[in-house]
Structure 1
């Protein structure tokens, strides 16, 4: 068991004996000005190590350290569970220091929503949260004009932080029960979209796009891949000989590897792209990978093509609708459901389908079926390689 001091500049926790932090901060001066926070560290029976923030007073830290030593000596395990003083802001500091959290593709989104929550309840001790507090937050966000899904996302991302804290012994079960008790505003699948872009719309849209965006839209329309899967695509995932795009588990939202067949137009698009010498990404713009949001470029192209844009507009188009269109057209083309789900990465719940092995050859046959179906439209024929224009 020990008492640690936290540097106010770099947040490093270190021995009380240190007079100066590695970052250069004068710790003695910071302690005198009350800018140093003190932590106590100890092990629970079983070996689990805990670090507990006490405050800015060394006397309080020594008292807390002595209290935990006494509890441990007397075997009072439950008295050593998470201290009720930790606030949501302090918990968020710990949460966003975790490498596993920072490695998430959605980390920027998580930060936005958790910080919104902290703006209301950041100073509240985690143990003080009650269902009424979260229901009041829902009502407040509604008055602010936010959509139900946005409100639900704020609570869901905050709940994920609480779950992680509970699993790591940072908080008890009461706060977690509170978050689980509050009902979502948006009922199941109430926000599901049914927009599918027509062949005519797609033809007009790609006709108004710059080359780099046109290629991305074409890949999405003919593979059903998600935007993040496409922009993160690297050449080692491209099997030109086998005409497959082979994604690993880490590349997909489902967390499962999948192989996506190439339509002829996808093959031609990829073959025409000049590979960068300094970067393995497939889609580049002015020498840099296209990782940022390109919604403004898509919005501009939609306006020129006479297509309504945006989730908030009735019948408005968004990028993800290309995936809807792919799945819809695959069904209309007569592609077997098991094969469709294997290509898109959707979970297969039926036992017979789960044990029905889908080979690459099955997927290539499926994409040929889609080509035949879409070739029936003169508008799609305009964007197929070798078609007469």
Structure 2
């Protein structure tokens, strides 16, 4: 669920928070060039759309108009409507009990990222009502979690906020926990369909990459055992968690 801004110049659909259009010119002599709109939300000719999924999981985009407040109001209307239509889980199990159950699973304890899972669940416990019943969880509560979490200071990067990627991973974990609980018979059904979870935009664009000279200097400054890992990462683009699971 979210708000989209349509650029009046190139027609590209941007995230509702975007200031700069990320689209490409579609026609004319500049076709294929990046759109040069830099003050997207100030343009009177812009159009807002809302995006959500129906109760059967179908993605729907609805054009609202040039006013962002109207788009926010309409999106909230649809969220409330979806919450009302969603089948409620008939269970007295609390979120805290489900978290404890998941952390106690042998397969969870064996995971390499177990400590990270514990940290993510700690954040989920803190911002959700952990003593509340699973059946009481709503899409609105998920939206509030995202809003609150992204305003918190990062414990790892001084002066920065919690990264959207971290929040997205925390919600993905919550979704996985519910799915696992259903598989094991701890819950009769998931409280919220996966298609109703908030969509979080993650910018994975790298500002720059190592030059060949910098890469060689890095290799020269590292021990031989680490050089093989660096070469593997540079040559394949594998992620850190993928590399550390390899047998060398």
- TM-score, reference length from structure 2: 0.52
Q: 1:123 to 1:219 in 2, by over 3 A?
A: same
Structure 1 residue 201 corresponds to structure 2 residue 208: no
Structure 1 residue 143 corresponds to structure 2 residue 151: yes
How far, CA to CA, are the matches of 1:180 and 1:217 in structure 2? 38
* 1:194 CA displacement: 7.1
Contact 2:178-2:190 at 8 Å conserved across structures: no
Structure 1 residue 157 corresponds to structure 2 residue 173: yes
- Cα offsets for 1:1-47 (capped at 9, x unmatched): xxxxxxxxxxxxxxxxxxxxxxxxxxxxxxxxxxxxxxxxxxxxxxx
* 1:226 CA displacement: 4.4
Higher relative contact order (CA 8 A, sep 6+): 2
Match of residue 105, structure 1, among 99, 112, 118: 112
Q: 1:146 to 1:230 in 2, by over 3 A?
A: closer
* 1:230 CA displacement: 4.2
How far, CA to CA, are the matches of 2:234 and 2:175 in structure 1? 35
Larger radius of gyration: 1
Partner SS, residue 176 of structure 1 = coil
Q: 1:131 to 1:226 in 2, by over 3 A?
A: closer
Contact 2:179-2:190 at 8 Å conserved across structures: no
Contact 2:150-2:162 at 8 Å conserved across structures: yes
Match of residue 181, structure 1, among 196, 207, 210: 196
2:122 corresponding residue in structure 1: 115
Contact 1:163-1:176 at 8 Å conserved across structures: no
- Cα offsets for 1:146-181 (capped at 9, x unmatched): 22211111111111101111222222335132x541
Structure with more helix by fraction = 1
RMSD of the alignment, in Å?
Answer: 2.8
Partner SS, residue 120 of structure 2 = helix
1:213 corresponding residue in structure 2: 226
Match of residue 186, structure 2, among 157, 166, 170: 170
Match of residue 92, structure 1, among 85, 99, 108: 99
Residues 1-389 of structure 1 aligned to structure 2 (within 5 Å):
84-121=91-128, 122-144=130-152, 145-173=161-189, 175-177=191-193, 180-186=195-201, 190-193=203-206, 195-222=208-235, 224-234=237-247, 282=248
Q: 1:181 to 1:83 in 2, by over 3 A?
A: closer
Structure 2 spans left out of the alignment, 5+ residues: 1-88, 153-160
Q: 1:195 to 1:173 in 2, by over 3 A?
A: farther
Contact 1:113-1:158 at 8 Å conserved across structures: no
Q: 1:174 to 1:93 in 2, by over 3 A?
A: closer
Structure 1 spans left out of the alignment, 5+ residues: 1-81, 235-281, 283-389
How far, CA to CA, are the matches of 2:162 and 2:240 in structure 1? 25
How far, CA to CA, are the matches of 1:232 and 1:104 in structure 2? 11
* 1:192 CA displacement: 4.5
